[in-house]
Chain A
Amino acid sequence: MSRWIPICAVLCLLGISPAQEIHAPQGVTAGEEASISTTGSGKAIFYLFGSGVSEKRDVNLGEEVRLPGSDLQSAGQYFAVLCSGDCNSVSFFVSPATPSILTFLVHPSRVPVAENDAVSGVAIPFDRYRNLVLAPEEVSFRLSAGKVSVLSRSVLAKDGIAWFRATSGKSAGPLQVTASLNDLETLRAVQQVASEPCNLRITGESNARGILVQTEPVHDCAGNPVPDGTIVTFTATAGGEKSTVDAPIKQDIARAQIAASGSAVISAASGVVMGNELHLGAH
């Protein structure tokens, strides 16, 4: 936009005492038709400069210059210049239209349960021409886990941005996050996951192949099952030799077969959490 200002200044300086006048339109909305009134008589050349548009056409002085909505889709400052021997110019602003797109950014996509200020979202309204709507629109945020509402809050957008920050829910599973503005609604999903395992306990028994060892159902301290696939490392020490198995949790339980002969001490760990120790004798 700023690059048009010197051009307009030059065109205007060419005119010493403009005989024609040009009047800027008031309250122009993006995508809507507008008109510029002129005074004087005879032919003139009309220039329009603005965001994404530059236009030149012949007009008759004293008539209205009609600007179609397609010329005014981008919000911002426009310059209209009228030249008939001398040049005269005006500037006017085009405001964004009503919001028709609600862009919604939510972070993170996965979050441990019951973590303070862990979920944040930013909603940005745009009109149908992708102009940022700067008017203070009221955006409603809703967070729900299943049928349980975790948060419901209305925020007035400031400079085109409305945002929230919230604590994650108490149970693992998908958290539906919705932003709505008038009849616009945008949905995002955040996966709430269990925290670190709590009270990792293992049991084992000897069998023909050695020792079958498995965890009890692995939960975090809030009772949420630790996600399947989480690795539990079983370590068996027997006679100066070490055996290890990295086993994934499946249906809440991690299970491993350890080929140990004689007695063995078996322990388990997952991440930074250690489990109990087992002292077993194999067949």
Chain B
Amino acid sequence: MKIILPIILVVGTAGLMVLALVSGGNARGTVGIAGGSAMFTPKSTTPQAALHNLLVDVQRRHWDRAYDALSRTSKADKEDFVQDWTGSNGSLRSFSALEGFDPRPLHITDDQADMRVALHWSTPVGPIEDVRDIHLVREGDIWRAVWPKYKVPTVPAEVVPVTYLRWDLVTGTADDQWGSKNVDAPRVRIISMNAVNTAEGAIVMGEVVNEDTIPAFVNVNATLVDGTGNTIDDETSFDKIDHVLLPKQVTPYRIDFPNIDLNKVKNVRMDVKAALVPASADPVIGVMDQKLDTDAQGKTVLQGELLNESGQTVNIPHVIVSFYDNSGKVVWVSDGYVDRALLPQSSEPFAVEIPRSVSDKVHNFHVVVNQYSLARS
């Protein structure tokens, strides 16, 4: 009996170790923890296996092995390939981790294959899904991905003159009397509001304008009230708004109430809060070539390009769009983060999705670009 128990423990431990080694490749491993199938990677004898192996290596940041698994016809060098996955310049991608992926074949022949993969990223602003088409070729008995050259944005050395514009708040210093420090809060107004029911819950959306001559930090709250006057829920616009509004600037806002049926709501109380805030008028980001289109998955999207017209890097651009029907009513508000940094005088594509239920009603749209810059935080 004294010998049997240690033997059982040793055999069980060894069995578990072997099981752990051979059962790697879980695409949805814990974020930030590399899994342990370093020794036994299945041979890439099919396009599916090749793509799976590549993405597992990318997920575990085994860049040497991932790059070695690419086809020799790939145009990307190793640095480009790594930067394609890890991002640069403090972009959202550089703070993200590949949490999982769902590949599916589009077209496969004996020696060529096209695969579409949905990449699930874990980011500081929440989960983001990215869809990518990957071409694979058979080289001998091994399938390999052909990686296109990632166009790393380059910026020529130049001097961009900037007329700095900022607002300072002077507080009265003489005494603490009444009225000695009374600078009015910025005057902002909700110019439209629409509440809709969706499968996920109720959504309150609309637009806010800064009618004042100074910048405002804006937040919109909505309270849902039932027929008896009791509060059902209370939410804020959180990140679905451009919080800092310059004079005469308009921003969409959207407030989500998950799992709440709008039919039970009798009244919606809106409350917009504005505060004086130091602000800068830069950078200016243009939104070019906006058009409604259908993406690779058949979804209706508004796409275009963001053009950074200033001389500073915008690390994380955030696009917020209000969509109007033909009477000018806001029927939907969408937002999306761009995972590449916006370098000075350069552009990056963006796309935001429009739900199928409202895509037919959309007649016009208004795009606002919010931005987060590490240099200013």
Contacts and interface: CB of A to CB of B under 8 A. Distances in A.
Interface string B283-325: 0111111110000000000001101010000000000000000
A109 B183 contact: yes
Given A110-B184, A259-B347, A250 B249 contact: no
A221 to B, nearest CB: 16
B: interface residue count bin: 35 or more
B78 to A, nearest CB: 32
Interface string A175-202: 0000000000010100101100000000
Nearest to B186: A110
Interface in B208-228: 209, 211-215
Interface in B192-241: 209, 211-215
Contacts of B214: 110, 227, 229
Given A103-B178, A231-B249, A257-B309, A244 B165 contact: no
A110 B366 CA distance: 29
A101 B178 CA distance: 11
Contacts of A109: 182-184
A104 B179 CA distance: 6
A98 interface: no
Interface in A228-273: 228-232, 240-248, 250-251, 256-260, 270-271
Contacts of A24: none
Contacts of A108: 184
A241 B182 contact: no
Contacts of B182: 105-107, 109
A258 to B, nearest CB: 7
Interface string A31-75: 000000000000000000000000000000000000000000000
26 contacts: A101-B177, A107-B184, A109-B183, A110-B184, A124-B178, A191-B213, A193-B213, A227-B247, A229-B165, A229-B247, A229-B279, A230-B248, A231-B246, A231-B247, A240-B291, A241-B291, A243-B287, A243-B288, A243-B289, A244-B286, A244-B290, A245-B309, A248-B246, A250-B281, A256-B286, A257-B286
Given A270-B248, A271-B248, 18 more contacts: A103-B177, A104-B179, A107-B182, A107-B184, A109-B184, A110-B184, A186-B177, A194-B213, A227-B213, A228-B281, A229-B281, A230-B247, A244-B286, A245-B285, A256-B284, A256-B286, A259-B289, A259-B307
